[in-house]
Chain A
Amino acid sequence: MLKIENLHVSYGHIEVLKGISFSVEMGEIVALIGGNGAGKTTTLSTISGLLRPTFGSISWKGEAIHGTAVETIVGAGIAHCPEGRRIFPGLTVRENLITGTASRAYKKAEVEDDLALVFELFPRLKERIKQGGWSLSGGEQQMLAIGRALMSRPNLLMLDEPSLGLAPIVIEQVFDKIVELNKRTGLGVLLVEQNSAMALEVAARAFVLETGSITLSGPASVLADDPRIREAYLGG
């Protein structure tokens, strides 16, 4: 469904991605793991159109999407839930969620259905529905950011470090919800995580990114047992 071929991305003279290739199939959870500065966030930002590749291609449902505007890519079905959440503090929880529908034609009943789905996944948000985004805790903001991404009715959800800054119990909840969503709706997920243990637990396949190149790939369960991974990312 999402196919990335020989992708190169540079910031000025510094090449951050040095020709990576991978794909995400329909309804699959794929994890992209790796240390700081490996290029994980750059990969997601390039897919969502915030960055332009210097070389290589990104295709989505058989069509090339690199070079397309960010909001067009959301409309095509790829939602990006960015690192550090970036919710809208000046809007209420409800308004934050509805803003996620900006990429598609507004039908009131549809929006209400989607809101109901998000509240079912994250009942906490429903309790906070009229509160300003600024008043939410870190975990609630993460739920809101995921909820907002889901409001665009994506086929592929790209999550950038959803565990960042969250308490372990909240991380567990968030990952449970991601798996639940994937099972229920067949939503594809491309997950970027520093918390590799958690990511490998929920993903079907995984790729290890090191300084701009994919060094290892395979079924998540196999990677989780690989001694190199255990040593570098899972703490031995």
Chain B
Amino acid sequence: MTVKHWFPLALGVVVALLIPAVTHDNYVIQLLNIAILNAIVVLGLNFATGWVGQINFGQAAFYGLGAYTTGIAAKAGLPWITTPFLSVVIVMAASLVLGLPTLRLRTYYLAMTTIGFGEIVRLIIVHWEPVTGGTSGLRAIPGIGVFGIGPQGQVQHYYLLIAVLAIAALVAARIRQSSLGRAMIATKDSEIAAEQSGVDTTRTKLIAFMIGAVYAGLAGCLYASSIRFISPDSFSGTQAILLMTMLIVGGMGSIPGCIIGAVGLTILPEALRFLGQWYLVLYGLGVIAVIVLAPGGLASLASRLPRWAGAR
């Protein structure tokens, strides 16, 4: 880590920690909390999509699976501490069953399978009304608490979620530096050359996909127990595409990019609300502008800055 690396990082952390001191608006903080949860989900998506190059439209479904597992378990009276484990077990099982047959194949099979999977999960949530609450969702989900201690109010939740995001980003960075991370990039760059170097590409793809699902499952667990209301809309196919957009706009393969993309695209629709129905036009144009002007995503702009500065 050089000055170039830790300066923006430190700046980001300071800004993140100061936000609640600047605004006391609960609505703003809750929006940020959702943005942070989305960032964790996008960090997860980055493993299979950004690093291994597999198109995955199932991330919203894993997010929802984690959220509903926690919501249902907590409402049934299980202690909160069991819910992250339950959510992780469920999403791991689902991603294993989904990934094992499809990831042996090359090209776009994962994209097709995960679209189907997303739809299956959505249909189950909508139609299994006695358990999932159907389209009206689950309300009054018990909050986070271990032995009666837990965050109170939006601001405390905000700090907790920031801490989880930081850990999620650090773990992702460590994995990228490990032999598994190298195997992921090698698999994306050339599957044949990766195998010829001794990389088990099927295993690498499967592990990346499962790690991503675990990120989404944990974020779902925290979503259910911090927002305390879940409905199928939050985990639909549209959300899956939105998560993919966040990854592309922020910068595929870049950890800061995942966070910037997720936070930016979660806040933007709310910030543009004054435009009424026109906000979608501006939103769409903005996304297109980023893709055209910075094909590597917003994160790639940051790496260009030193070059501009150096040219002067």
A: which residues have CB within 8 A of B? 48, 50, 69-71, 74-75, 79-80, 82, 86-91, 95, 98-104, 106, 133, 148-149, 151-152
- Residues in chain B near residue A71, CB distance under 8 A: 195, 198-200
- Residues in chain B near residue A86, CB distance under 8 A: 190, 192-193, 196
Do the beta carbons of A88 and B186 come within 8 Å of each other?
Answer: yes
Of the candidates B185, B189, B198, B200, the one whose C-beta lies within 8 Å of that of A100 is B198
Question: Which A residue sits closest to B180, measured CB to CB?
Answer: A102
Question: Which A residue sits closest to B187, measured CB to CB?
Answer: A88
Please encode chain B, from 177 to 204, with 1 for each CB lying within 8 Å of some chain A CB and 0 for all others.
0010011011011101111111110000
Closest CB in chain B relative to A184 CB, distance in Å = 23
Does B257 touch A at the CB level, under 8 Å? Answer: no
Question: What are 29 of the A-B contact pairs (CB < 8 Å)?
Answer: A48-B196, A50-B192, A69-B195, A71-B195, A74-B197, A80-B196, A86-B190, A86-B196, A88-B185, A88-B193, A90-B189, A90-B253, A91-B186, A95-B182, A98-B182, A99-B182, A99-B194, A100-B197, A101-B198, A102-B179, A102-B197, A102-B199, A102-B200, A103-B197, A103-B198, A106-B179, A133-B189, A149-B197, A151-B197
Closest CB in chain B relative to A102 CB, distance in Å = 4
- Residues in chain A near residue B183, CB distance under 8 A: 99, 102
CA distance A190 to B189 in the complex (A): 26
> Chain B contact residues: over half helix, strand or loop, or mixed?
helix
Of the candidates A88, A95, A102, the one whose C-beta lies within 8 Å of that of B198 is A102
CA distance A86 to B183 in the complex (A): 14
- Residues in chain A near residue B182, CB distance under 8 A: 91, 95, 98-99, 102
**In the complex, chain B residues 62-111 whose Cβ is within 8 Å of any chain A Cβ:** none
Do the beta carbons of A91 and B185 come within 8 Å of each other?
Answer: yes
- Residues in chain A near residue B195, CB distance under 8 A: 50, 69-71, 74
CA distance A69 to B192 in the complex (A): 12
Do the beta carbons of A152 and B179 come within 8 Å of each other?
Answer: no
CA distance A169 to B312 in the complex (A): 38
Given the interface pairs A88-B185, A91-B185, the reply to whether A152 lies near B192 with Cβ below 8 Å is no
CA distance A91 to B179 in the complex (A): 12
Interchain pairs with CB closer than 8 A, number: 77
Given A70-B196, A99-B197, 6 extra CB contacts under 8 A: A74-B198, A86-B190, A91-B189, A100-B198, A102-B186, A149-B197
- Residues in chain B near residue A102, CB distance under 8 A: 179, 182-183, 186, 194, 197-200
- Residues in chain A near residue B186, CB distance under 8 A: 88, 91, 99, 102
Most buried by B among A89, A91, A99, A103: A99
Question: Which A residue sits closest to B200, measured CB to CB?
Answer: A71
Question: Which B residue sits closest to A100, measured CB to CB?
Answer: B197
Closest CB in chain B relative to A163 CB, distance in Å = 19
Question: Which A residue sits closest to B204, measured CB to CB?
Answer: A102
- Residues in chain A near residue B253, CB distance under 8 A: 90
CA distance A86 to B198 in the complex (A): 14
Question: Which B residue sits closest to A86, measured CB to CB?
Answer: B193
CA distance A95 to B179 in the complex (A): 9
Closest CB in chain A relative to B254 CB, distance in Å = 12
- Residues in chain B near residue A152, CB distance under 8 A: 197-198
CA distance A102 to B187 in the complex (A): 12
Do the beta carbons of A90 and B196 come within 8 Å of each other?
Answer: no
Most buried by A among B182, B194, B196, B198: B196
Top-3 shortest CB links A-B? A103-B198, A86-B193, A102-B198
CA distance A95 to B289 in the complex (A): 33
CA distance A75 to B199 in the complex (A): 10
Closest CB in chain A relative to B268 CB, distance in Å = 29
CA distance A133 to B197 in the complex (A): 15
- Residues in chain B near residue A95, CB distance under 8 A: 182, 185
- Residues in chain B near residue A103, CB distance under 8 A: 197-198
- Residues in chain A near residue B198, CB distance under 8 A: 71, 74-75, 100-104, 152
CA distance A91 to B193 in the complex (A): 13
- Residues in chain B near residue A91, CB distance under 8 A: 182, 185-186, 189
- Residues in chain A near residue B197, CB distance under 8 A: 74, 99-100, 102-103, 148-149, 151-152
CA distance A104 to B179 in the complex (A): 12
Question: Which B residue sits closest to A133, measured CB to CB?
Answer: B189
CA distance A89 to B185 in the complex (A): 9
CA distance A71 to B186 in the complex (A): 14
**In the complex, chain B residues 28-59 whose Cβ is within 8 Å of any chain A Cβ:** none
Question: Which A residue sits closest to B177, measured CB to CB?
Answer: A95
CA distance A48 to B185 in the complex (A): 22
- Residues in chain B near residue A104, CB distance under 8 A: 198
CA distance A48 to B194 in the complex (A): 13
Question: Which A residue sits closest to B183, measured CB to CB?
Answer: A102
- Residues in chain A near residue B179, CB distance under 8 A: 98-99, 102, 106
- Residues in chain B near residue A101, CB distance under 8 A: 198
